[in-house]
Amino acid sequence: MAETSAPPSSVPLARPRDRAYAHAVALMTTHPLIDGHNDLPWTVRQAGRSDLDSYDLTRLHPETDTDIPRLRAGKVGTQVLAAFLPTKSANPATVTAEQIDLILRIEDKHADAFYPVRKPADVGLAQARGKIGSLPAVEGTVGLEGSLAPLRLWHRLGVRLVTLCHNETLPWIDSATDKPHGGHDGLSDFGRAMIAEMNRLGLMVDLAHVAPHAMHKVLDVTTAPVFITHTCATALCAHPRNTPDDVLHRLRDNGGLAMATFVPEFLNPAALAGVGSFKDQWGKLRPGMTAADYQKARAACLTGWNQDGIAYLCDHLAHFREIVGENHIGIGSDFYGGPNPPGLEDASKFPDLIAELVRRDWSDAAIVKVMGGNFLRVWGEVLARAG
């Protein structure tokens, strides 16, 4: 998730409804697309303090990017919904619990639209029933407050994936967008115990937001495959949140998954350069730089791209495939309310993305793997190694 939400400012880009698009829709009708990360619960919380009556998910929300109509239009099979909270939140254990509760209330209130996904087989059941699978996740382990007990409670509440940190370093894990802790090598003893407990429970370990040196430390100790649910390739765009090739190389042996994301400055070096003067080497706003000015700069960076966000995203997927192979890649939008890249403005745009893979001559088998087949296989392996 990016630091702050803002309304989308790019003009929606019309892509052709050609044979490739029809082929993509046919594939998505038969095979579920799994989006590995969406911060809709935080968007709801910011807009209405978690009031699901006032924030009606059944209507279009043009000010943001995700609602039930656009998830359906985008033919999303299962959506990972993140219980995100800012690292510096007061009472983080409580806020994490409130965010998990919000996901569960979304499932209950909109049971006609969402089907709870708690095991791989539920993804197929959701699609068979014409519903959107809802897979709860937690983004950032600040809510553990130094204890493993909340991790076990999160699992009992239905959480199945946990992102280890967000934009700030925690005492037990270094963030890609913050200074290292300095008291350990990127992963503390508690961090290693956290990974071991996640492996035992069958919780998916998500390395998005984790510093590359700490990613390596997690890969050294985990007994199960890992996920990087919303990232792009450092080789194509040198944002600190992107994943370098040396980590990608290790995913093949680990059996894990790198999932390409839609964040503009992760995709496009020009967009990254456009906001670079606002931030330090850790991706933090420099002194004197306001969040409002930064958001204006981000919006300006969405215009004048020499190709749209879908083309950039497919370039990153191609790089992932080259480095780690087609069995270890997926898609994680990181929709958080915007602004989003041209062509990827909202959750209705997934068929356009899949159509571009068709146009680039990706085989049906490879596309189905990227859409969700790899996610299901790797999740199954996580569960097979649990206990």
Q: How far is CA 107 from the centre of its chain?
A: 19
Measuring CA to CA, which residue among 382, 368, 262, 222 is closest to residue 2?
Answer: 262
Q: Which of 171, 165, 220, 231 is nearest to 196 (CA)?
A: 220
- CA 343, CA 310: separation in Å to the nearest integer? 6
Tokens linked to 289: 């730089």
Q: Catalytic site residues?
A: 37, 39, 139, 166, 209, 230, 334
- 200 burial via Cβ count (<10 Å: 0-12, 13-18, 19+): middle
Contact yes or no for 114/130 (Cβ under 8 A): no
DSSP assignment string, 124-172: HHHHHTT-EEEEEEEE-GGGGTT-SHHHHHHHHTT--EEE---SS-BTT
Smallest Cα–Cα separation from 5: which of 49, 45, 54?
45
Sign of the dihedral through C-alpha 355, 357, 363, 365: negative
Q: What is the DSSP string of 282-321?
A: TSPBPTT--HHHHHHHHHHTTSS-SS-HHHHHHHHHHHHH
Q: What type of residue sits at position 276?
A: G
- Strands, E assignment, the chain: 33-38, 76-84, 114-116, 132-139, 161-163, 204-206, 226-231, 257-260, 329-331
Both tokens assigned to 299 = 């919006």
CB-count exposure of residue 13 (10 Å: 0-12, 13-18, 19+): middle
Residue found by looking up tokens 């963030």 in the block: 175
Dihedral angle, C-alpha 112, 157, 163, 182, nearest 10 °: 160
**How far is residue 4's CA from residue 38's CA, in Å, rounded to a whole number?**
14
Helix axes 309-324, 245-254, angle to 10 degrees: 60
Residue of 244, 199, 246 whose CA lies nearest to 226: 199
